[in-house]
Structure 1
Amino acid sequence: MTVPHSVTQSVLYIYIYIYIYIYCTWGEIVTVGVGGPGDGYPVLGSVGDFPSRLVLHSFERETTVGGGLGAAECAKQKRSVRWCAFGDKKVEVMPGKPKLYYFDGRGKMESVRWLLTAAGVEFEEEFLKTREQYEKLLKDGVLLFQQVPMVEIDGMKMVQTRAILSYIAAKYNLYGKDLKERALIDMYVGGTDDLMAFFMRFPFLSAEEKEKEHANIIQKATSRYFPAYEKILKHHGQDFLVGNRLSWADVHLLEAILMVEEKKSDALSEFPRLQAFKANISSIPAIKKFLEPGSQRKPVSGDKYVETVRRVLRMY
């Protein structure tokens, strides 16, 4: 007996709706809208690294939905957003790995690398090595304030380090459980930022200036910032700075501690709670791996990094 086409189509629709519902519930797909009707068949298109469990169900045909682009057209335009369409529904897959645009060194992007790592998020990087690369970004209008870092994430081209970090922290549940915790995290991150500001300018100093600044960094860290965090940990009575789980504040402080220790290996000798804090956060699997050789963590910025930044940004 031949099964009517309408029955076959209905079964396919039901199957795909159930599949998408499950994926939307536990995966990374979000429904972005309803457009006009399709061309009569449920269609799944794929572009780039479309999730394999959906690629298995892809059809030969493709359609545009609600004025959208078909998969092949998206690929032709090198768009990063992938979507599948069935009937009159359009389901968009959030863009793949975040892409970081910066120099091959620490600078302001290093904290972004740390936070993405802590969140368990893989990322790609495009290193600025020539003035032409930078000018192309300017010409394309993706550097809102004509500055890097810039991060492509979730279809956005984000600039301003603080905004980038806040977005990542909020998205990946590293920003506290309520407004009060978020305020504490902001306060602690702000304090750590003040300490890390010394490191940002350090590579660009003269040899004589570096000698003086080295001592200044150690003095500020051990007399102002580390005592404050030692006190916070004592009063809070937890393994973390805020609440009882990992937050942006913890990741940021560990980054700063390790940078200080690069200049003075026993900088934590008088701070037992910070020593325990360092051991605890460093043992988190994703962070532990990030601290191993061969990761995307950048080494101390040297002369090559400084020369590249100066040349690309024309800091002469």
Structure 2
Amino acid sequence: MAPFTITYFAVRGRCGALRIMLSDQGQEWKEIVMNFEDWMKGDLKATCVFDQLPKFEDGDIVLYQSNAMLRHLGRKFGAYGSNDTQASLIDMMNDGVEDLRLKYLKLIYQEYDTGKEQYIKDLPNHLSKFEAVFAKNKSGFLVGNKISFADYNLFDLLLNHRVLCSSCLDSFPALKSFVDTMSARPKIKAFLDSDDYKKLPINGNGKQ
């Protein structure tokens, strides 16, 4: 029996980074796929702390909020820095990833038809912040010299952005190297090449 269970819709969405992290850490998990009609009946929704999915189960631990799930796995698998200072910096970087993800989600679900051109035009201003961090750290990771949950989160978001705009990393060599290196990690590569990954749309409304 798989030690972890993800309950979510048939979409990469908020579980993209989580699945990539579990794969890279050599973990197996069970997926409970919720369709929208069943979700709208409200039975499962009524049991969710914040009335939303994803839901993540690790034994007796039940978590909601995707970033809490990433932090949980970060602690569990040693992907939360080597000391308290690094942990705080990883938190900071992950919050920066979340800021960009919220902008991306606003575009996808609210402004895609009217705001895509402007979003792509503004994107370098956001990516440059992460480029500067990688250029300074030199390790290939956001913080310290080993992978953290924030790296998985940024990687997933950058994959989404490369679908949105295939050339978006062309002016950011450190970010491009990061994505290439992460994509080549054997367990991540195997997951990204799998039908389980490829069959899932990036977002729930078909926009990408």
Per the alignment, residue 202 of structure 2 pairs with: 300
Cα distance, 1:249–1:132 mapped onto 2, change above 3 Å? closer
Aligned to 2:96: 191
Task: Name the amino acid aligned to 2:100.
Answer: L
| Whole-Å separation in 1 of the counterparts to 2:161 and 2:53 | 25
Q: Equivalent of 2:147, from 246, 249, 259?
A: 246
For structure 2, the 5+ residue unaligned runs are: none
Secondary structure of the 2:82 match is coil
Residue number in structure 1 paired with 2:121: 219
- Corresponding residue to 2:12 among 96, 103, 106: 106
State how many pairs are aligned: 205
Correspondence 1:115 to 2:21:
yes
Tell me the percent identity.
26
> What is the TM-score when the length of structure 1 is the normalising length?
0.59
Q: CA deviation at 1:201?
A: 3.6
- CA-atom RMSD, angstroms? 2.2
State the shift of 1:130 in Å.
4.8
Secondary structure in structure 2 of the residue aligned to 1:296 = helix
The CA distance in 2 between the partners of 1:120 and 1:129, in whole Å, is 28
SS in 2 for 1:101: strand
- Taking the TM superposition and a 5 Å limit, the aligned residue runs for 1:276-295 are 276-295=177-196
Alpha-carbon deviations, 1:234-291, whole Å to 9, x = none? 2112121211111112211111211111111111111111121111111111111122
Question: Which structure has the larger Rg over C-alpha atoms?
Answer: 1
Secondary structure of the residue aligned to 2:92 is helix
* Cα distance in 2 between the residues matched to 1:260 and 1:270: 14
- In structure 2, the residue matched to 1:6 is none
Matches within 5 A, 1:1-20: none
Deviation, structure 1 residue 144: 1.8
Any stretches of 5+ residues in structure 1 without a counterpart? Answer: 1-48, 50-95, 306-316
**C-alpha distance in structure 2 between counterparts of 1:168 and 1:201, whole Å:** 27
Task: Measure, in 1, the Cα distance between the counterparts of 2:112 and 2:206.
Answer: 17
Native 8 Å contact 2:107 2:119 kept in 1: no
Bigger mean CA deviation after superposition, 129-138 or 281-290? 129-138
Return the match for 1:231 from 94, 118, 132. 132
What is the aligned counterpart of 1:135 among 35, 39, 42? Answer: 42
User: How far apart are 1:296 and its partner, in Å?
Assistant: 3.3
Correspondence for 2:52 among 147, 150, 161? 147
Q: Which of structures 1 and 2 has the larger relative contact order (alpha carbons within 8 angstroms, sep 6+)?
A: 2
Contact 1:117–1:290 (CA<8 Å) still a contact in 2?
yes
Query: Aligned partners of 1:99 and 1:284: how far apart in 2?
Result: 24
Q: Aligned letter for 1:135? A: G
Q: Are the aligned partners of 1:196 and 1:256 in contact in 2 as well (CA < 8 Å)?
A: yes
- Is the Cα–Cα contact under 8 Å of residues 229 and 274 in structure 1 kept in the other structure? yes
State the distance in 1 between where 2:6 and 2:57 align.
Answer: 7
Separation in 2 of the partners of 1:268 and 1:279?
A: 11
175, 193, 209: which is aligned to 2:80? 175
Q: 1:304 to 1:228 in 2, by over 3 A?
A: closer
Q: Tell me, what secondary structure is at the counterpart of 1:151?
A: strand
